[in-house]
């Protein structure tokens, strides 16, 4: 990868800076980019080249770039222009969105990406990668699975940007996959008690998860549900309560918070993932993963997938598990990896 040019768009944000430092630690000097002058300061601090441009003009700045990694939200605003630029310059595109509408938006460019000979790989961070791989592995443990349930829990902090996005959309209806179709679903409409080998937790239905598209694409399973853990006050907001607190946080408090998790939180944090499948014979199987803190897991996933994309001959829209699942099991950072099968 050291002979390839990797551009990080949104490098002035929390995740962008983390990923730039991660690549530098691997001996790779990325190009840092974004739409504001703050990118220059980050680039000078890290001794990296930089480019400042709007997403609409991206094609003028990507002709020598092999892979663009988009970590700049909201993705509804950054995806279209950057993908158009990548199509025009034949540059691979990855991002770290975790929501269904954003993944669908990228999928709409599939045919054009095939013609351009590039890969489009949204949802390349913690939010979807380990769950998509766990779902794929679980789906292969029994014959003809018809139901898939994906859950995860995280221990660690959250960035300002992520919190802002979550709170803005907290009342928004999402989807559930039933009979291979998207049906409307409300946030926190169901709860699930989850037992793992090393951990127990309660999760609520998360109707925005990118897995609802990606794992359906990866596994072909016709019924999919996704659950996540949230702080109690967030769950209350998902159910239409505490509207005053939501406004207070968005309008006043969120900008007083740290940019993202501290180094201590990054090192001590953990992530817990479980994918459970069932078929019409009532056979059940599950795959569990325990990994590092969510932001660190995102850096690892991004790095691995950029490498896989650059080596691949695939084209068009892809899912993380489309590049295989063995690489996840080989990561030293994934401390526990277990499969279960019951009949």
Of residues 26 and 156, the one with the higher pLDDT is: 26
Q: What is the DSSP letter of 255?
A: G
Q: Are residues 288 and 304 in the same domain?
A: no
pLDDT of 336 above 90: no
Beta carbons of 182 and 175 less than 8 angstroms apart: yes
Q: How far apart are CA 107 and CA 228, in angstroms?
A: 24
Q: Are residues 100 and 133 in the same domain?
A: no
Q: Are residues 177 and 251 in the same domain?
A: yes
Compute the average pLDDT of residues 82-97. 99
158 pLDDT band (50/70/90 cuts)? confident
Angle at which helices 294-311 and 129-139 cross, to 10°: 70
Residue 40, domain member (yes or no): yes
List, for residues 243-285, the tens digit of each pLDDT value.
888 888 888 677 777 788 888 989 999 999 999 999 999 999 9
Q: How far apart are CA 40 and CA 52, in angstroms?
A: 8
Report residue 234 as tokens: 């967030």
Residue 91, domain member (yes or no): yes
Q: Are residues 35 and 120 in the same domain?
A: yes
Q: Are residues 229 and 86 in the same domain?
A: no
Compute the average pLDDT of residues 197-210. 94
Cis peptide before 74 (omega within 30 of 0): yes
H-only helix segments in 26-95? 38-46, 75-89
pLDDT of 343 above 60: no
List, for residues 12-29, the tens digit of each pLDDT value.
999 999 999 999 999 999
Q: Are residues 290 and 321 in the same domain?
A: no
Residue 107, domain member (yes or no): yes
Q: Are residues 206 and 305 in the same domain?
A: no
78-87, 171-180, 226-235: the lowest-pLDDT one? 226-235
CATH of the domain at 42: 3.40.50.720
Give me the number of domains the chain comprises.
2
- By C-alpha distance, which of 53, 92, 77, 196 is closest to 134? 196
Q: How far apart are CA 341 and CA 343, in angstroms?
A: 7
pLDDT of 168 above 90: no
Please give the distance of CA 160 from its chain centroid, rounded to a whole number.
Answer: 17
Q: Are residues 224 and 247 in the same domain?
A: yes
Range of the domain at 186: 129-294+328-342
Residue 108, domain member (yes or no): yes
H-only helix segments in the chain? 14-25, 38-46, 75-89, 100-107, 110-116, 129-139, 160-168, 211-219, 232-238, 243-248, 263-268, 294-311, 326-329
Residue 242, domain member (yes or no): yes
Residue 17, domain member (yes or no): yes
List, for residues 123-144, the tens digit of each pLDDT value.
999 999 999 999 999 999 999 9
Q: What is the DSSP letter of 127?
A: T
What's the pLDDT at 169? 79
Residue 1, domain member (yes or no): no
Beta carbons of 204 and 133 less than 8 angstroms apart: no
Q: Are residues 195 and 313 in the same domain?
A: no
Q: Are residues 135 and 53 in the same domain?
A: no
pLDDT of 332 above 60: yes
Residue 35, domain member (yes or no): yes
CATH of the domain at 158: 3.30.360.10
Q: How far apart are CA 327 and CA 307, in angstroms?
A: 11
Of residues 46 and 232, the one with the higher pLDDT is: 46
**Percentage of residues in the chain having pLDDT higher than 90:** 80
Burial class of residue 193 in the structure, from the number of CB atoms within 10 Å of its CB (0-12 exposed, 13-18 middle, 19+ buried): exposed
What's the pLDDT at 41? 98
Looking at the DSSP bridge assignments, the partners of residue 176 are 183
Q: Are residues 99 and 188 in the same domain?
A: no
- By C-alpha distance, which of 109, 156, 202 is closest to 298? 156
List, for residues 38-47, the tens digit of each pLDDT value.
999 999 999 9
Q: Are residues 185 and 227 in the same domain?
A: yes
């Amino acid at each position: 990868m050291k002979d390839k040019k990797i551009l990080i768009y949104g490098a002035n944000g929390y995740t962008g800076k983390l990923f730039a430092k991660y690549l530098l630690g691997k001996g790779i000097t990325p190009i840092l980019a974004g739409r504001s002058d703050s990118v220059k300061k980050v680039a000078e601090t890290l001794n990296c080249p930089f480019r400042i441009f709007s997403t609409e003009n991206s094609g003028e700045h990507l002709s020598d770039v092999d892979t663009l990694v988009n970590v700049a939200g909201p993705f509804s605003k950054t995806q279209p222009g950057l993908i158009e630029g990548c199509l025009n310059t034949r540059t691979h595109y990855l991002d770290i969105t975790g929501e269904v509408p954003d993944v669908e938006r990228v999928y709409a460019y599939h045919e054009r990406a095939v013609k351009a000979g590039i890969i489009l790989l949204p949802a390349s961070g913690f939010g979807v990668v380990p769950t998509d791989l766990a779902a794929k592995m679980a789906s292969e443990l029994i014959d003809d699975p018809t139901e898939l349930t994906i859950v995860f829990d995280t221990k660690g902090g959250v960035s300002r940007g992520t919190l802002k996005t979550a709170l803005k959309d907290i009342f928004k209806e999402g989807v559930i996959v039933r009979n291979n179709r998207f049906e409307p679903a409300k946030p926190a409409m169901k709860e699930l008690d989850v037992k793992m080998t090393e951990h127990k937790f309660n999760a609520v239905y998360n109707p925005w998860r990118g897995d609802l598209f990606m794992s359906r694409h990866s596994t072909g399973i016709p019924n999919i549900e996704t659950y996540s853990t949230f702080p109690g006050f967030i769950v209350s907001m998902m159910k239409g309560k505490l509207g005053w607190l939501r406004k207070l946080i968005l309008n006043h408090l969120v900008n007083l918070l740290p940019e993202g998790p501290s180094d201590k939180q990054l090192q001590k944090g953990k992530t817990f993932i479980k994918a459970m499948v069932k078929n019409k014979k009532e056979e059940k199987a599950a795959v569990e993963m325990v990994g590092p803190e969510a932001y660190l897991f995102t850096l690892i996933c991004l790095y691995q997938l950029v490498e896989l994309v650059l080596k691949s001959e695939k084209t068009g829209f892809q899912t993380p598990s489309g590049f295989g699942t063995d690489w996840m099991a080989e990561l030293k950072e994934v401390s526990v990896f277990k499969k279960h099968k019951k009949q």
